[in-house]
Amino acid sequence: MSAQTDIRRRTANDIRARKGGDPIVALTSYHAHTARILDPFVDFILVGDSLGMVMHGLETTIPVTLDMMILQGKAVMRGAKQALVVVDLPFGSYEESPARAFQSAVRVMKETGCGAVKMEGGSHMAETVRFLVDRGIPAMGHVGLTPQAVNTIGGFKVQGRDPAGAESILDDARAISEAGAFAVVVEAVVEPLARRITESIPVPTIGIGASAACDGQILVLEDMLGLNDWVPKFVKKFGSLAEHIQGSVQAYSDAVKTRTFPTDDNVYKPKK
Ligand code: KIV
């Protein structure tokens, strides 16, 4: 009764075991094609609810639904064969109670086949993380700037600059890791705080705009590739895909307008 494949997919436990070891490489993906391309280079792929802003042009992640996450989670699972795939639980699908979070996470895991879910929030989510982990659902935490809370924190801005704020984020990361999270995303905090969190918790910290003092890094793929007009200040662009696409579309448009398209190479030949 075993389903054997040549490649063993990474698990949440593999990621947890990397604490303090080789830096963990992660990116977001929402599609089969990008997941296929990333797969050999990353330890895990996050199907982030950032898809609402990046793919759908929404202003925040608040409107993203569980169905949207499941649809894109399935696509990523078809593309990625070796990376752990983690799917975000969207706003409103988990905060109400541990039981509600369990129901949402079960749907995500059964329908996508992913290996873990991620939830935003600190100490107040610890009980929920424990509830999920005790019932067989690997959970990743997310502290610091938590975009689903944009309306209460007043914008997408660096968190924990003042001593009280920094202590509170440190407490959040501790509470989530003690509750059984296998890794914690730390978003938009200054380097000394990222370093303190990384030194204080027994599971890997995955930084985004949180300096190199983390156990790993994650970026939104489209931001890092230079596909979006606007990217957060902390994002280093590793590509200029928008310009590349514009160049290719211009070449295509020129070929159509000058009737040099299609060429002999790509027309169907009449049957003899
Ligand atoms: O939704 C997302 O893409 C994320 C990353 C930015 C960590 O949560």
* pLDDT tens-place string over residues 184-219: 999 999 999 999 999 999 999 999 999 999 999 999
Identified catalytic residue from 96, 111, 178, 187:
187
Write the DSSP string, 132-169: HHHTT--EEEEEES-GGGHHHHTSS--B--SHHHHHHH
pLDDT of amino acid 70: 98
Residue 142 corresponds to which tokens in the numbers above? Answer: 């997310």
For range 133-158, the mean pLDDT:
94
Amino acid identity of 125? M
Across the chain, what does the average pLDDT equal? 94
The pLDDT value given to residue 24: 98
Q: Is 82 helix (H, G, I), strand (E, B) or coil?
A: coil
- Amino acid (one-letter) located at 215: D
Does the beta carbon of 48 sit less than 6 angstroms from any atom of ligand 1?
yes
> Considering the entire predicted model, what is its pTM?
0.94
SS3 state at 130: helix
Report pLDDT for 6.
Answer: 66
* CA of 118, closest atom in ligand 1: 8
- Atom index in ligand 1 nearest the CA of residue 120 equals 8
Nearest CA among 203, 223, 227, 224 for reference residue 215: 203
Residue 271 above 90 pLDDT?
Answer: no
| Most distant CA pair in the chain, distance | 80
Closest CA to ligand 1's atom 3:
48
Return the exposure string of 32-70: e unless at least 16 CB atoms fall within 10 Å of the residue's CB, then b.
bebbeebbeebbbbbbbbbbbbbeeeeeebbebebebbb
CA of 219 to the centre of ligand 1 (A): 7
Reduce the DSSP state of residue 87 to 3 states and report it: strand
Domains and CATH numbers, the chain: 12-239 (3.20.20.60)
Q: What are phi and psi of 99, to 5 degrees?
A: -65, -40
Ligand 1 geometric centre to CA of 226 (Å): 17
The verdict on whether omega for the bond into residue 163 sits within 30 degrees of 0, i.e. cis, is no
Q: How confident is the model at residue 229 (pLDDT cuts 50, 70, 90)?
A: confident
* Atom 2 in ligand 1: residue holding the nearest Cα: 48
Annotation says 167 is catalytic: no
* pLDDT tens for each residue of 47-94: 999 999 999 999 999 999 999 999 999 999 999 999 999 999 999 999
CA–centroid distance, residue 48 to ligand 1 (Å): 5
Amino acid at the residue 29? S
Report whether residue 26 contacts ligand 1, using a CB cutoff of 6 Å: no
Q: Considering only CA atoms, which of 173, 188, 187, 183 is closest in space to residue 204? A: 183
How sure is the predictor about 3, in pLDDT bands with cuts at 50, 70 and 90?
low
What is the Å distance from ligand 1's center to 31 Cα?
Answer: 15
User: pLDDT band at 158, cuts 50/70/90?
Assistant: confident
